[in-house]
Amino acid sequence: MPITQQESERVAIVGASMTQFGQREGWIMDLLAEAGLECLEDAGVDAADVEHLYVSNMASGEFEGMTGVPNALAHDLDAMPAYTQRVDQTSSSGGAGIYAAWQSITSGASDMTLLVGGEKMSHRSTPETTDIIASVTHPVEYKTGVTLPSFAGLTARHYLEQFDAPRESLGKVAVKNHKNGVDNPNAQFQKEVDLETVLESPIVADPLRLYDFCPITDGSAALLFCPESVAKEYTDEYVVIAGVDGATDTHVVHEREDPTVMGGVVESGKGAYEMSGYGPADIDVAELHDMFTILEFLQMEGLGFAEQGEAWKLIEEGYTERDTGELPVNTSGGLKSKGHPLGASGIAQGVEIYEQLMGEAGPRQVEADVGLACNVGGFGNCVITTIMEAAQ
């Protein structure tokens, strides 16, 4: 049950950081410590003032044989005796971390919560990584060999046929997000791709091709939260969380009535809108979870930016372009070009919205007072939507 803002003091974000995303040396602790320290420095807050430390991470045990990562990070940052805990919600662990951090502040449990998310994946082979990620699906599906990319292919095929959408519209999502990623110095791929390249890349899950998918990525991102009254002690400029909510859909994907509707997106969006008092028309910039190009359409529709079956028309019209569109989507480059280190991705979405609202996005800057991030776990099995606004 989302609560309305005015019932309690608002939660401020006073610091943000992300590491270079891509193939990184070292191990997850290096990445987390890098992002965590940079975030504290960005905010001018001492590690000793951190009261809660949340680590968003899906699978450090599976990828690196290391658990207890939050304790290790508290030690590395010298944040002890700060309380610490791992937040896992598979690929939406980052968004879940934002929700957990919001709860820690709003409940009064913490006056300064550092959220650091990350994943170190690229040292494992692609089959190994695919298998670890596929473990998020229901065993019934997993055992028949259905992976997240194959769900994406099936859904894309269905979407294109049902709504008479051209295959090119999906390709244009990749083109747009790669173009945005050129201006993100932390993106894994800082290069444009043209539509032909996307459409002629190798088939992965028909009709989706290699360039419809995000890459395998190492990286970390961090955000620092406190009550608004505490934020004012450090700075005049900050961002507040206007609304946040999370929701599940069936874990067995094939039980959903309509594969083109992600219930978790719809429900979490509804909750975040209700809490914030904003609606889709109030959102100036959005980071959507484009793990697969088709997901950008499903979130555009589930969040009310487009009618069902019509998101593809908006990309054709340039509605979501960064410099000329009405609603710039994935100005960061999205998961598609920025990369998708599972536990970091939802937080990196928040970092982009934070920078946009603070006017710190450099060549990616758009006009924005209110921004939204949507972080999708599994194939929409659990989704967290966060709405942020510049403090006034």
Q: How many residues bind a second copy (CB under 8 A)?
A: 67
Candidate segments 17-25, 78-86, 300-308, 352-360, binder of a second copy by CB under 8 A? 78-86
User: Could you say which residues in the range 22-61 bind a second copy, by CB under 8 A?
Assistant: 51, 58-59, 61
Is residue 378 within 8 Å of residue 127, measured between CB atoms? no
Question: Could you give the string, one character per residue 132-171, with x where binding to a second copy holds by CB under 8 A and - elsewhere?
Answer: x--xxxxx--------------------------------
* CB-count burial class (<10 Å; 0-12, 13-18, 19+) for 392: exposed
DSSP code at position 151: H
Taking CB under 8 A as the rule, does residue 113 contact a second copy?
Answer: no
Distance CA 38, CA 35 (A): 5
| Shortest reach from residue 26's CB to a second copy, in Å | 12
Nearer to a second copy, 132 or 204 (CB): 132
Which among 289, 366, 287, 363 has a CA at the least distance from the CA of 322? 366
Nearer to a second copy, 150 or 330 (CB): 150
Which among 114, 118, 138, 161 has a CA at the least distance from the CA of 16? 114
- C-alpha distance from residue 172 to each of 8, 168, 179, 191, 326 (Å): 42, 6, 10, 15, 17
Cβ-proximal residues to 166 (8 Å cutoff; 6+ apart), any chain? 160, 312, 316
Q: Which of 259, 381, 389, 390 binds a second copy (CB under 8 A)?
A: 381
Q: What is the CA radius of gyration of the chain?
A: 19
Q: Which of 249, 284, 290, 301 binds a second copy (CB under 8 A)?
A: 249
Q: Which of 25, 44, 48, 68 binds a second copy (CB under 8 A)?
A: 68
Nearer to a second copy, 125 or 162 (CB): 125
Which residues sit at the interface with a second copy, rule CB under 8 A?
1-3, 7-8, 51, 58-59, 61-62, 65-68, 70-72, 74-76, 79-90, 96, 99-100, 102-104, 106-111, 132, 135-139, 245-252, 263-264, 267-268, 377-378, 381-382, 384
